[in-house]
Chains A and B, each alone.
Chain A
Amino acid sequence: MSSTANPVLETASGDESGTGLLRRPWTRFALRRLVRLLVSVWVLVTASFAMIHLMPGDPVRAALGPTAPAALVEARRHALGLDEPLLVQYVHYLGGLFTGDLGTSLSAQLPVSDIVAQRLPATLTLTVLAFAAAVVIAVPLGVTMGVLTRGGRGRRTELAFTTTSVVLGTIPDFLIGVGLVAVFGVHLGWLPVAGNATPSAHILPVVAMAIGPAVILARILRVEMVGVLESDFIRTARAKRLPARTVYFRHALPNAVTAALTLSGLILSAMAVGTVLVENVFAWPGLGRTIVDSILTKDYPVAQAIVLVYGAGVLLVNSAVDVALALLDPRSMIRED
């Protein structure tokens, strides 16, 4: 008897397909990630809203200066809605976010969203180029070091690589930037040290941001490669007499990138935030420089909005890495159950 002839079985079948959707690992994974992302966004938005209210004293008075007339301060407070009850301000803030209204700059008297839109591309360019450079350096370096030091070979090479990478990885990127400016900008005069007007102006800030993450990523990749190259399936590939490049890049590398990918997500997030210091070293006209300027001039709406943008960027990158990891290694999302 077919199930379609029996209404009871039909109902059972329908229920099963409904719960069946929830039983699928991808559905459960997507739901978990969505809930986590929404909670994180809410925490981020609430924290950035609270920022202006947790400042000691009156932010408007601080922004306008101690000699500003009380009427002007009051008028500005009213214009910013800071004289309304906290809950009302919070609701207005959330409503503004949904319509792209991030408030008005205290110093420039321009919409904050315009300032962010104007400065964001420069920061994105710097971050993406630095991340791409880090990956381009790290992958061949990590794979080569893994191959050269597999199975206890090349002890001296391993020691030299580990020592160099530890030293380079622990120097903060802005210090590397200062060093690069001193050598290539001031001493040799080969490259411009400020702004982003020409392609050559991108080289020093990108290198300053990429060196540390590249060597850290290469170290992780080397360790993973050494482990993977000891695997039975690599021995099988060698027994098949596959060309070395096929063994390393088709079999070993895809199995070695999981840890590096997780780390690269963290690195990308850290790079985005790291632009704050590097942009100031290289006078880069991006969000990093703007947030420092806005803090110095006590322009809280701008600082608040940029914190929000950086936070959203970090959340977005982390979510993208989670999805990429699940695609690369579907077992990772099942292990979460």
Chain B
Amino acid sequence: MSDLRWQDVTVRYGRHVVVDRVDLTVPEGRIVGLVGESGSGKSTLARAAVGLAPVHGGTITLGGAPVPTSGRRRPLQMVFQDPYASLDPRMTVGDSVAEAMPPGRSRQQRRAEVERLLELVHVDPARARTRPGGLSGGQRQRVAIARALAARPRVVIADEITSALDVSIQGVVLNLLRELRRDLGLSILFISHNLAVVRYVASHVAVMRAGRIVEQGPTERVLGHPNHDYTRTLLAAVPGRRSQP
């Protein structure tokens, strides 16, 4: 089992509590959506798991063991929102992907792995020598996913990865995530404020507000028959959708 689990996790910046005693589980081989308005603590919760935010209380475990926050083992990988800024502009696509690989491979093996990963995310392997500036937003985001996969993670955290993309490109990236879950058995925490895309990719969903999880469960149940007022408010805010009674 390699469930990613937050148990009673609190994150504070000074006196400001950003994440307040949160319990959340991403089961192995599932995509879990995490929704909520801006500033609700979604990204901070994710960053705490990879050591980018200070955990004040509680535990974060992967497969029952604490997530390593030092050393080169990287079972948890993040893909960030802005595909235009998340790749080093001076590094080639191939170098960015190869850098994330575990050590101990020959140059030839790394090159072959880069090509395999680029193919996996539907980017032409010939683009390995290109710098990010030569790629579209959708291609860059797929390269960012390939970079995350290069570390051979057990869980990938996708933090608003479609927010900066055109609607037409969003579908390509979302389908890729579904493919990766199906083909690689990858667990994914999919963070978004867009309920429609969460409904499309996630089997489970958690709703976060002011640093707390207010509701979680299977996607169809939570988004179809919400129990919490805040979830109903979020659903009512979706353009073109009437609020649930």
Give A residues with C-beta under 8 Å from B: 231-233, 235-242, 251, 254-255, 328, 331
Q: Which of B40-85 contact A (CB under 8 A)?
A: 50-52, 70-74, 77-78, 80-82, 85
Smallest CB-CB separation from A232: which chain B residue?
B85
Question: Contact at A233–B52, with CB atoms within 8 Å?
Answer: no
Interface size of B in residues (CB-CB distance below 8 Å): 26
B133 at the interface (CB under 8 A from A): yes
Question: Contact at A241–B74, with CB atoms within 8 Å?
Answer: yes
Question: Contact at A241–B72, with CB atoms within 8 Å?
Answer: yes
Listed residue (A231, A239, A328, A331) with the most chain B CB atoms within 10 angstroms of its CB = A239
Give the 9 A-B CB pairs with smallest separation, nearest first.
A232-B85, A232-B86, A233-B88, A239-B78, A239-B50, A254-B90, A236-B86, A240-B100, A241-B74
Cα of A232 to Cα of B159 in the assembled complex, Å: 12
Given A239-B52, A239-B77, A241-B71, the answer on whether A233 and B100 have CB atoms closer than 8 Å is no
Cα of A59 to Cα of B82 in the assembled complex, Å: 67
Question: Contact at B99–A233, with CB atoms within 8 Å?
Answer: no
Question: Contact at B90–A241, with CB atoms within 8 Å?
Answer: no
B89 at the interface (CB under 8 A from A): yes
| Set of chain B residues within 8 Å of A236, measured between Cβ atoms | 78, 80, 86-87, 144, 147
Q: Do most interface residues of chain A lie in helix, strand or loop, or is the interface mixed?
A: helix
B146 at the interface (CB under 8 A from A): no
| Set of chain A residues within 8 Å of B50, measured between Cβ atoms | 239
| Set of chain B residues within 8 Å of A237, measured between Cβ atoms | 88
Could you list some 23 contacts between A and B, CB below 8 A? A232-B81, A232-B85, A232-B86, A233-B86, A233-B87, A233-B88, A233-B89, A235-B52, A235-B86, A236-B78, A236-B86, A239-B50, A239-B77, A239-B78, A240-B99, A240-B100, A241-B70, A241-B72, A251-B88, A251-B91, A254-B90, A255-B88, A328-B90
Listed residue (A236, A238, A251, A255) with the most chain B CB atoms within 10 angstroms of its CB = A236
Smallest CB-CB separation from B78: which chain A residue?
A239
| Set of chain B residues within 8 Å of A238, measured between Cβ atoms | 51-52
Question: Contact at A240–B74, with CB atoms within 8 Å?
Answer: yes
CB distance from B84 to the nearest CB of A (A): 9
Question: Contact at B151–A240, with CB atoms within 8 Å?
Answer: yes
Per-residue interface assignment for chain B, residues 24 to 48, with 1 indicating a CB less than 8 Å from any chain A CB and 0 otherwise: 0000000000000000000000000
Smallest CB-CB separation from B86: which chain A residue?
A232
Smallest CB-CB separation from B133: which chain A residue?
A331
Cα of A80 to Cα of B82 in the assembled complex, Å: 69
Give B residues with C-beta under 8 Å from A: 50-52, 70-74, 77-78, 80-82, 85-91, 99-100, 133, 144, 147, 151
| Set of chain B residues within 8 Å of A255, measured between Cβ atoms | 88-90
Question: Contact at A235–B80, with CB atoms within 8 Å?
Answer: yes
Smallest CB-CB separation from B144: which chain A residue?
A236
| Set of chain B residues within 8 Å of A235, measured between Cβ atoms | 52, 80, 86
CB distance from A231 to the nearest CB of B (A): 6
| Set of chain A residues within 8 Å of B100, measured between Cβ atoms | 240
| Set of chain A residues within 8 Å of B51, measured between Cβ atoms | 238-239, 241
Listed residue (B88, B99, B133, B151) with the most chain A CB atoms within 10 angstroms of its CB = B88
Question: Contact at A231–B70, with CB atoms within 8 Å?
Answer: no
Listed residue (A232, A237, A254) with the most chain B CB atoms within 10 angstroms of its CB = A232
Question: Contact at A232–B70, with CB atoms within 8 Å?
Answer: no
| Set of chain B residues within 8 Å of A251, measured between Cβ atoms | 88, 91
With A239-B77, A240-B74 given, can you name 18 additional A-B contacts, CB distance below 8 Å? A232-B82, A232-B85, A233-B85, A233-B86, A235-B80, A236-B78, A236-B80, A236-B144, A238-B51, A239-B78, A240-B77, A240-B99, A240-B151, A241-B51, A241-B73, A241-B74, A251-B88, A331-B133
Question: Contact at A231–B85, with CB atoms within 8 Å?
Answer: yes
| Set of chain B residues within 8 Å of A240, measured between Cβ atoms | 74, 77, 99-100, 147, 151
Cα of A238 to Cα of B87 in the assembled complex, Å: 12
Cα of A181 to Cα of B88 in the assembled complex, Å: 47
Smallest CB-CB separation from A331: which chain B residue?
B133
| Set of chain B residues within 8 Å of A233, measured between Cβ atoms | 85-89
Cα of A232 to Cα of B90 in the assembled complex, Å: 14
